[in-house]
Structure 1
Amino acid sequence: MTGRLGIWALAVLGLVAGCADRERSTLADGRLTATPGGMDFQKVALYDARETEISLRNVGRAPVDVNEVWVEGPEGAYRAEFTSDVPHSLVPGSAASLKVRFAPTKEGGQPAMLVVRSDTRIEPLLRIPLTGSGVDAWARVSPRSLDFGRIEAESSKTLALSLENPTELAVEVTPRLVGADKDEFVAKSVVVEPGATVDLPIQFNPVKVGRKQVALAITPCRGCADVPVLVAAESLEQAVVAEPPVVDFAAVPVDREAFRESRIRNISTEPMTVNQLTLDGLDLSYSQANTGFPLVLQPGEVRGFQLRYSPGHMGPAEDMARYHVVSKRHPTTDVKLKGFGGAAELCVSPVTYDFGTQPLGSKTRVMVNVKNCGSSNAGALTLESLTWQPDPAGTAQFNNTPLAMPHTLQPGQEINIPVFYEPTRTGSASGVLVMTTNAYSAATVQMDFRGTALAHAPCELAITPMALDFGTVPPGRGAVLGVKLENKGRDLCPVKNIQLRDSDGGVFRMPGGDLFGVIIYPGDWFSFQVAVQMPVTGGTFAGTLQVEQMEPANPVVLVPLLANAQATCLIPSPWYVDWGVARRDCPPEPREVNYLNACTMPVSVSNVWIGPGTTDGEFSVSGVPTPLPFTLQPGEAFTVDLDYTAQVYGMNLSPLFVSSDDLAAPLLVPLIGESSKRTDKTDHFTQQDVSKVDVLFVVDNTASMVEEHPRLVSAIPSFVDAALAKQVDLHVAVTTTGIASVSNACPGGAQGGEAGRFFPTDNARPRILTQATPNLTTLLQQNVQVGQCAQVEQGFEAMRRALSPPLVNNADDPRTALPRDGNLGFLRDAAALVVVFVGDEDDHSPDAVDTYVAWAQQLKGQNQPQRATFYAIAPTAAACGTAGGTGTRYAEATARTGGEVMNVCAANYGPLLSAVANKAFSAQDRFPLSDSPEPGSVTVTVNGAPVTTGWRYDAPSNSVVFTNVPAPGAKVSITYRRSCDAG
């Protein structure tokens, strides 16, 4: 202990000692001795300390109480205390220990005195001399910063601080780490002997990835102030990384080879050893033959290695390249290898082309075929650019139809690029078209073109008609007319860029597309079509057709185009008349057009005529009601006869016009025919898909149907069961053969004059039934009970009215007082149309059978899968007493549409309607021809392949009948030499 006890404590001790003295014999006293009798601590470093023990022994004859110990000397340099806390009362011969500590606070000698107070009389204060010397001893620390750099986590790096002791005493140097990441560093205390220099190792053992937050404080001696040392360190997830981590060889043709470089980089600040490079061998298309391993990758160093891909199979290929690194955390640096066997390959044809000699001002074309001829899995071919090299001779004379770039072609896909030669100067010319692609080994392709131009006389071109007037076409409908170009001169005449200059917003178009160039020789001519498609909003439209000719005084001829879109009361049937291909020696049969007043007010017709066309006189009209003008009452109709002479070879088009008081311009029905020198003809068909069918029953409602109606009602379940068994998406409705009203005795609300409206017109029952209609059989049985009250059977006319405006496209017939008596919702564009006529007498409709057949085929698209097919239960040659005559018109119509007529005299219609259903809801086996063939001239192909068996020609129906029925969607072509029988 340093210093003395407090005054109060000393006073108490004094009192106690005084009492003891009075009680103790003066002859027996205790005596203390100290061992050793003095202590020299010698040299001790400042702020360090040295300790020793001193033993106090009672060598007297009486007990001794040691009351207090202290040191008299330099403040804070010495400290003395008993080694135990027990009472320090010593009996004779016993001893107690004192611990004395010297911790110099300054340099130099520091003498002191240890004082022990006891209750002995002889020497109550025992004094023991103490000596010691303080020495300033410490270690120098260098450097004052440590940078461990960047090393991989889970590795280790050690740096050292240098400790130098320039003093005469050994010192202990203590490091201390602080900060969030101090646990990832290791540092221990060291003792530096006098005059020695030692290293203090600091070890960095990173666990977590990232920059480290840590500080290091060094205590260079005991009690010395800390010396700060800056520490920088970062740990990495991986020291050796791949650049790039995935090597993609892309698409390479099978059995070719491609090389790609794989690079590795040492992103740490320590050398890294790479022992080898291996492949996993997942796909033997990959290989490598790199040498030089093992190697040491210096900090920041990058090295590249070649990898090879030679696909031995088509399709994707993957493998893994592994760099084996001396690393605990990442013993391999992995590189994924990707490739695709089968690359896009470019095929171009032609790469050189000579247009030959062409007239000045002409425009000739060659199609450059560009194809991705790689294997089926070879990936896309991208055409990146397509440009012409400048022509050093002047204005370029070659060009191509623009193609949006880039343009992608999948394997097997191709595109034809039109390249044109448009000579503007005489003599030879050349052009170079350059294409860039992503094709394997075909990044750039050069195509060379040549041509020579000759001069000629200016064109003498005649254009008919000089203006194309479409008159009136109802909104939403289209029409087509023609323009003829004829060379009236003595030299050839090149024309080009025949196209619409103004389509008035797309109302006008050219169905065959623009005509890039034609050379018309003296006396020759050709025709082309111009079409109009009226918007549903109606209106008046004007456009312009242009024709460029080699005539310097008039290089561009403009043909005005006019059209009026307006709702019409007159409904023509058909909307256009197409005679198809005809011959001079085989004039086509006459055709008819029927005009029905579909409005609720009378219409006055003032004229019917053939307007200007490509070749006037080829078409003629007759049978126009006289005198003109005449009035049609609501629901009334008239029919005109049309002839086509087919004397002028080529395509002939003319307008049939009808003027009426409700139209601003005459109503148009286009007339189309082609006169050909060819005698062969081919009818093309597509086998129908009958999964969706609209069925219309047209039932005779005359008084003679008393026997037949019950048979029909009884047979309906057979028809419905057949339809449901084939899972047909069905629409079915009924109308009558009655056109004019008779009396209120007729059921259904129309007085026997449905005139095409579905029965019952008063909506007493649902009129359009489907396969999902509850009680379908019962409702259809009720709907075919149309009564027996009408007088004239007009089955074809009733059908045409039922499926024509205003009935087919209105929920209510605007011409009648009955509500909701229109036929809207029955006819579907995607569905086949089957019409079943049931009557005990032949049809007495006003127009020819051909007219109705052509109308129906026009309605659904001639020779298309959804083609209209007619069936009839009608009188046949096997007559009976309940039938009137023979149904020749029904027989002709069914034969022309591929249907069939069955005998109305049968006692049970169940088998008849089952046969109708099975035939109507099955693929077509009978294909009617459009003309009569010469015997033995018929040939058949299905999907382009000749078929010599499994079919026969049936002369009575003028049809080809298959026993091996073509599959739905099959393309059937029937070629024959047309017979030229009169009539």
Structure 2
Amino acid sequence: MRWPLQMIMLAVLAGVYAACSPVMFEKDADCGVGCVRVNGMKEIEYTVGASGGKVDILFVDDNSGSMSFEQNNIAARFSSFLSALDAKQVDYRIGVITTDVSGPNNGPRAINGNGALQDGRLIAFSNGQYFLEKGTANKEALFAGVIRRGETLTCENYLNSGSSQNASAYAANCPSPDERGIYAASLTVESNPSGFIRAEGSLAIVFLSDEDVRSLLYEQSPAYRLNDRDLPQTLIQIVQNRFPGKSLSMHSIIVRPGELKSGYSAADVAQKISQVITGDYNISVNAQNRPENFFYGADISCLNQQGSQTNQVSGSQGYLYYLAAKMTGGVVGDICANNYGSQLSAIGTNIGEKVNQIALACENPKILDLRFTNQSGAPTGSVQGSNFVFNPELTSGQTVYLKIECPDNM
């Protein structure tokens, strides 16, 4: 399709800018660059597109025993993720942390890199860098070397060996089995190690785990009671406090818990689950707010598959990771998928700049022309005062041509 002027690519936090047609029917500096006067009215053209923009992508890797199969799967199909980002011209950074958060019974020791693999610290790639960039050579191999965790395999070999097991031996051979991916991500956001998260651009977080936060044991024991940092709504708020106005999307590759029952939103359910962390541990409150009360259609087959992979390790549905994705418009993937390529591609496609409106030269103008480059799945839009608002947002790879008519005395 041929457009009447050069395409303008915009970063989401930079705003949206207007341009006018290079064809001038009446030269008048007061009308503005490219503006045309027709019969006492001003006709103004806008061509606006969403580019890939800057996106910092944090992978939160469950490194507990039982995850080596899934780590291999995501490593093998990482090229699908990169291809989706490149197709959208995303200027990306990619970092990796684990779900391991330190505590009184989970201090630094050799198996967790003496703390280097805990508390939201970025894991160094073999080239010495703490994040990959678009121009980094051998990205697939570097990512595979970090997402595949040696401590995970060591733990699995220990659990499957039939060796005598006790707390001391477990601590020596295994990182924490207490998966706290949302908590770990919040620590990364707050500390921003190596300046990984840029002030401008978007943030995307991808959770990979075969268990819910704290292995769902928060339903059963005060020892595993949720901290507010284990909740998606807290992480969303921490991102906004640390980087005001930043666009955030969260994605999960998990044992899928099914879908939310009618009448419940992800934010509603996250708030209900949060009630078990307030005051004393209350069994009746806990029972009322068990996450399974709000879902239907859980993937039991996948749950059983996860429970058969490693001796003495069972999986659980990833309720809180599901809610994190749904609360931010992200993708919920299937950890039991034979091929992670399609869901990594879907996550990559979801990541990128989003443009929600165009600032117009006058209020409530008449629309003379409206066209999208990509009609398939194109958003609609409407004039709201002095803005043209898209519904849903204009996403990376989509471009709109808009022509409006404004009074000459605007």
Q: Please name the residue that 2:239 is paired with.
A: 856
Alpha-carbon distance in 1 for matches of 2:319, 2:49: 27
Is 1:846 paired with 2:227?
yes
Q: Assess if the C-alpha contact under 8 Å between 1:723 and 1:917 holds in 2.
A: yes
Equivalent runs, 1:123-522 vs 2, <5 Å: 314-315=26-27
Q: Please name the residue that 1:772 is paired with.
A: 135
Aligned alpha-carbon RMSD (Å) = 4.0
Match of 1:755 among 113, 119, 143: 119
Task: Give the AA of the match of 2:124.
Answer: P
Is 1:827 paired with 2:210?
no
Q: Assess if the C-alpha contact under 8 Å between 1:842 and 1:888 holds in 2.
A: yes
- Return the TM-score normalized by structure 2: 0.52
Q: Assess if the C-alpha contact under 8 Å between 2:52 and 2:397 holds in 1.
A: no
How far does the alpha carbon of each residue in 1:927-971 deviate from its partner, in whole angstroms, 9 at most, with x for none? xxxxxxxxxxxxx9835269xxxx9xxxxxxxx86899995799x
Does the C-alpha gap of structure 1 residues 689 and 376 become closer, same or farther in structure 2, counting only changes over 3 Å? closer
Q: Assess if the C-alpha contact under 8 Å between 1:923 and 1:965 holds in 2.
A: yes
Alpha-carbon distance in 2 for matches of 1:688, 1:314: 31
Secondary structure of 2:118's match?
A: coil
Match of 1:870 among 247, 250, 254: 250
Match of 1:911 among 316, 336, 342: 342
Deviates more, 1:867-876 or 1:722-731: 722-731
Q: CA deviation at 1:924?
A: 8.3
Q: CA deviation at 1:745?
A: 4.8
Task: Give the AA of the match of 1:738.
Answer: D
How far does the alpha carbon of each residue in 1:214-240 deviate from its partner, in whole angstroms, 9 at most, with x for none? xxxxxxxxxxxxxxxxxxxxxxxxxxx
Alpha-carbon distance in 2 for matches of 1:836, 1:687: 26
Is 1:888 paired with 2:253?
no
Task: Give the AA of the match of 2:180.
Answer: Q
Is 1:705 paired with 2:67?
yes
Q: Assess if the C-alpha contact under 8 Å between 1:849 and 1:893 holds in 2.
A: yes
Match of 1:791 among 177, 197, 201: 177
More strand by share: 1
Alpha-carbon distance in 1 for matches of 2:101, 2:61: 12
Alpha-carbon distance in 2 for matches of 1:376, 1:922: 28
Q: CA deviation at 1:721?
A: 2.7
Q: Please name the residue that 2:99 is paired with.
A: 737
Secondary structure of 1:802's match?
A: helix
Q: CA deviation at 1:766?
A: 2.0
Q: Assess if the C-alpha contact under 8 Å between 2:116 and 2:123 holds in 1.
A: no
How far does the alpha carbon of each residue in 1:218-271 deviate from its partner, in whole angstroms, 9 at most, with x for none? xxxxxxxxxxxxxxxxxxxxxxxxxxxxxxxxxxxxxxxxxxxxxxxxxxxxxx
Alpha-carbon distance in 2 for matches of 1:907, 1:784: 18
Is 1:746 paired with 2:108?
no
Equivalent runs, 1:643-662 vs 2, <5 Å: none
Match of 2:82 among 720, 723, 731: 720
Alpha-carbon distance in 2 for matches of 1:834, 1:846: 22
Q: Assess if the C-alpha contact under 8 Å between 2:68 and 2:148 holds in 1.
A: no
Secondary structure of 1:703's match?
A: coil
Alpha-carbon distance in 2 for matches of 1:719, 1:854: 27
Q: Please name the residue that 2:383 is paired with.
A: 944
Does the C-alpha gap of structure 1 residues 963 and 713 become closer, same or farther in structure 2, counting only changes over 3 Å? same
Does the C-alpha gap of structure 1 residues 968 and 731 become closer, same or farther in structure 2, counting only changes over 3 Å? farther
Secondary structure of 1:869's match?
A: strand
Does the C-alpha gap of structure 1 residues 894 and 376 become closer, same or farther in structure 2, counting only changes over 3 Å? closer
Task: Give the AA of the match of 2:299.
Answer: A
Q: Assess if the C-alpha contact under 8 Å between 1:767 and 1:783 holds in 2.
A: no
Q: CA deviation at 1:757?
A: 0.7
Task: Give the AA of the match of 2:239.
Answer: A
Q: Assess if the C-alpha contact under 8 Å between 1:690 and 1:832 holds in 2.
A: no
Alpha-carbon distance in 1 for matches of 2:74, 2:109: 24
Secondary structure of 1:824's match?
A: helix
Q: Assess if the C-alpha contact under 8 Å between 1:849 and 1:889 holds in 2.
A: yes
Alpha-carbon distance in 2 for matches of 1:794, 1:753: 13
Task: Give the AA of the match of 1:914.
Answer: S
Alpha-carbon distance in 2 for matches of 1:784, 1:343: 58
How far does the alpha carbon of each residue in 1:655-681 deviate from its partner, in whole angstroms, 9 at most, with x for none? xxxxxxxxxxxxxxxxxxxxxxxxxxx
Does the C-alpha gap of structure 1 residues 718 and 941 become closer, same or farther in structure 2, counting only changes over 3 Å? closer
Q: CA deviation at 1:377?
A: 8.4
Q: Assess if the C-alpha contact under 8 Å between 1:695 and 1:731 holds in 2.
A: yes
Q: Assess if the C-alpha contact under 8 Å between 1:833 and 1:860 holds in 2.
A: no
Secondary structure of 1:707's match?
A: helix
Q: Please name the residue that 1:920 is paired with.
A: 351
Q: Please name the residue that 2:4 is paired with.
A: none
Q: CA deviation at 1:910?
A: 1.9
Alpha-carbon distance in 2 for matches of 1:889, 1:688: 31
Task: Give the AA of the match of 2:111.
Answer: C
Q: Assess if the C-alpha contact under 8 Å between 2:81 and 2:344 holds in 1.
A: yes
Q: Please name the residue that 1:196 is paired with.
A: none
Task: Give the AA of the match of 1:711.
Answer: N
Q: Please name the residue that 2:52 is paired with.
A: 690
Does the C-alpha gap of structure 1 residues 849 and 922 become closer, same or farther in structure 2, counting only changes over 3 Å? closer
How far does the alpha carbon of each residue in 1:742-789 deviate from its partner, in whole angstroms, 9 at most, with x for none? 564536x3457420110139x773221101111111111112123322
Q: Assess if the C-alpha contact under 8 Å between 1:713 and 1:785 holds in 2.
A: yes
Q: Assess if the C-alpha contact under 8 Å between 2:202 and 2:352 holds in 1.
A: no
Alpha-carbon distance in 2 for matches of 1:693, 1:830: 9
Does the C-alpha gap of structure 1 residues 897 and 964 become closer, same or farther in structure 2, counting only changes over 3 Å? closer
Task: Give the AA of the match of 1:760.
Answer: A
How far does the alpha carbon of each residue in 1:510-547 deviate from its partner, in whole angstroms, 9 at most, with x for none? xxxxxxxxxxxxxxxxxxxxxxxxxxxxxxxxxxxxxx
How far does the alpha carbon of each residue in 1:391-410 deviate from its partner, in whole angstroms, 9 at most, with x for none? xxxxxxxxxxxxxxxxxxxx
Task: Give the AA of the match of 2:197.
Answer: L
Does the C-alpha gap of structure 1 residues 968 and 756 become closer, same or farther in structure 2, counting only changes over 3 Å? farther
Q: Assess if the C-alpha contact under 8 Å between 2:88 and 2:396 holds in 1.
A: no
Number of corresponding residues: 252
How far does the alpha carbon of each residue in 1:373-395 deviate from its partner, in whole angstroms, 9 at most, with x for none? 9x9689xxxxxxxxxxxxxxxxx
Q: Assess if the C-alpha contact under 8 Å between 1:730 and 1:771 holds in 2.
A: yes
For structure 2, the 5+ residue unaligned runs are: 1-24, 43-47, 153-174, 215-225, 257-297, 308-314, 357-378, 402-410
- Return the TM-score normalized by structure 1: 0.23
Larger Rg: 1
Q: Please name the residue that 1:974 is paired with.
A: none
Secondary structure of 2:73's match?
A: helix
Task: Give the AA of the match of 1:746.
Answer: I
Q: Assess if the C-alpha contact under 8 Å between 1:942 and 1:966 holds in 2.
A: no
Alpha-carbon distance in 1 for matches of 2:240, 2:188: 15
Alpha-carbon distance in 1 for matches of 2:49, 2:205: 18
How far does the alpha carbon of each residue in 1:255-304 deviate from its partner, in whole angstroms, 9 at most, with x for none? xxxxxxxxxxxxxxxxxxxxxxxxxxxxxxxxxxxxxxxxxxxxxxxxxx
Q: Assess if the C-alpha contact under 8 Å between 1:923 and 1:967 holds in 2.
A: no
Q: Please name the residue that 1:393 is paired with.
A: none
Q: CA deviation at 1:834?
A: 0.8
Q: Assess if the C-alpha contact under 8 Å between 2:52 and 2:396 holds in 1.
A: no
Secondary structure of 1:732's match?
A: strand
Alpha-carbon distance in 1 for matches of 2:244, 2:398: 19
Identity of aligned residues (%): 26
Match of 2:206 among 836, 847, 867: 836
Equivalent runs, 1:594-609 vs 2, <5 Å: none
Q: CA deviation at 1:860?
A: 4.4
Alpha-carbon distance in 2 for matches of 1:831, 1:709: 28
